[in-house]
Amino acid sequence: MTFDNLMLRLAVSLAIGLLIGLERAWHQREDQDRRAAGIRTFALSGLIGGLSGLLGQSLGAGFVGLAFLAYAAVFAGFEAHEAIATKSFGATSAVAGLAVFLLGALAAVGDVQVAVAAGITTAAILTFREMLHGLVARLTWVEIRDGVILLAMAFLMLPILPDRSLDPWDSLNLRQLWIIATLIAAVSFASWLAIRGFGERRGILLVSALGGLTSSTATTAGLARMARAPGAQARLLSAGMCVSGVVSLLRIAALSAVLRPPLLATLALPFIAASASLVAAGLWFLRQGGANARAEGFELKSPLDLVGALRMAALFAAVSLVAGLLRAEFGAAGFYVVSAVSGLVDLDAITVTAARLGGMDRVAAQGILIATGVNLGVKAGLAASLGSAETARAFVPATVLAILAGLAAALLMP
């Protein structure tokens, strides 16, 4: 380790302590004379952790452990004395001090970026104390339970599922299907929280926009199922579907521009026309939804629609199997057919595939347009089959107009 690198690492250890100490000092600014640890103590704690880590490289890892135990005993002793003097008991500052020591050691001998990220995260958790306490006070047991289930779906079940095809046609991937189910469940859960936090109108639009960045098809399915809830505003949910569709088109355009910039020459005008149509429809729905808003609002039974998410994943599995059979039947020569079939499920895969067709930019762009049109049709079908009759009457015509607008723009191109 060079001298410059050594000094940089120690500076990071000191900076982590300063950052967390600044938050602790500001939080306890009214008790400066009685607090056990302030900004200087935390800054020195980070530096001591860094020095202990460096010494441990020559004296052995056991030295770092002994230094940490000694530091913990001294720091906890002063914190206990402060708690007795002020008659206010809390372990936050003590735990923060231990974290500063360990992060200082990590910055000195480990991954500096991880140490910095963990230090910033620690400071953020301490800073947003009131907000976190207020959030806990507002949460219900049902929301906590469903949040734990969603986290288990994403971080416990997903890593253990096999990431390989289960059929000869390379179409059924259990991990990808579980990702779809998790996304749909996350849309319903995020919608519940967003509605509670921001109100019906802003909450639905926020979730729709964020959902379009990941999977607009899953977002449309989740919003459509919400339309069946008592008091649901079908026009507002239809506007959310339009927002999700527009964000999805922007995402595919950006992906195409990154992977193969010449594709935008063919995609730009049809995508602009389709997006403009969806934007106009969404604004119209918002205007109607605001005028016809129901006073009782949503009455969702549960934040997490797990059964509906699993049903949609099963539907995607069936569609993927059909797509695999058609790909096997037509082969590479049927690129347009493959594009149409791929649009039944996803747009990202066909976009990446089309971008790799070197020297065939126009054919590749046309394949993406075909997949996009089919995908819009699928979303209309989901809105009609999963949503309410009012949702179908609103979103299906809007989608058809968007498809026609994109088709007309494509035909007008030379």
Region of 290 (left: φ > 0; alpha: ψ -120 to 50; beta: rest) is: alpha
Q: Which residue has the higher pLDDT, 353 or 234?
A: 234
Asked if 95 and 151 sit in the same domain, the reply is no
**Among 16-30, 137-151, 312-326, which is the least confidently predicted range?**
312-326
Asked if 104 and 181 sit in the same domain, the reply is no
pLDDT level of residue 79 (50, 70, 90 thresholds): confident
Q: Is the pLDDT of residue 297 over 50?
A: no
What are 203-210's contacts with CB under 8 Å, separation 24+? 204/236, 204/237, 204/239, 204/240, 205/239, 205/240, 205/243, 207/240, 208/239, 208/240, 208/241, 208/243, 208/244, 208/247, 209/243, 209/244, 209/247
**Among 86-90, 135-139, 180-184, which is the least confidently predicted range?**
86-90
Closest C-alpha to 325, from 349, 347, 341, 348: 341
Residue 191 is which amino acid? S
Q: pTM higher than 0.85, yes or no?
A: no
Report, as an integer, the average pLDDT of 179-185.
Answer: 80
- The pLDDT value given to residue 298: 47
What are 119-124's contacts with CB under 8 Å, separation 24+? 119/15, 119/16, 119/19, 119/20, 120/19, 122/20, 122/96, 123/19, 123/20, 123/23
- The pLDDT value given to residue 86: 65
| Domain of residue 258, residue span | 144-412
Asked if 110 and 228 sit in the same domain, the reply is no
Start-to-end C-alpha separation, the chain: 61
The total number of residues written for the chain in this structure: 414
- How does pLDDT run across 42-66, given as a tens digit for each residue? 899 999 999 999 999 888 888 988 9
Q: Of 80, 106, 135, at which residue does a domain stop? A: 135
Asked if 282 and 188 sit in the same domain, the reply is yes
> How many structural domains is the chain composed of?
2
Asked if 11 and 78 sit in the same domain, the reply is yes
Report, as an integer, the average pLDDT of 249-277.
Answer: 89
**Among 308-312, 353-357, 398-402, which is the least confidently predicted range?**
353-357
The runs of H, that is alpha helices, within 139-263 are 141-152, 158-160, 174-198, 200-214, 216-226, 234-259
Asked if 20 and 163 sit in the same domain, the reply is no
pLDDT level of residue 294 (50, 70, 90 thresholds): very low
> CA–CA separation, 323 vs 280, rounded Å?
33
pLDDT level of residue 139 (50, 70, 90 thresholds): confident
- The pLDDT value given to residue 396: 94
> CA–CA separation, 102 vs 109, rounded Å?
11
Tokens of 238: 């239809």
- The pLDDT value given to residue 293: 43
Report, as an integer, the average pLDDT of 235-250.
Answer: 92
- How does pLDDT run across 366-410, given as a tens digit for each residue? 888 999 999 999 999 999 998 888 899 999 999 999 999 999 999
Asked if 361 and 280 sit in the same domain, the reply is yes
> CA–CA separation, 339 vs 327, rounded Å?
9
- The pLDDT value given to residue 324: 64
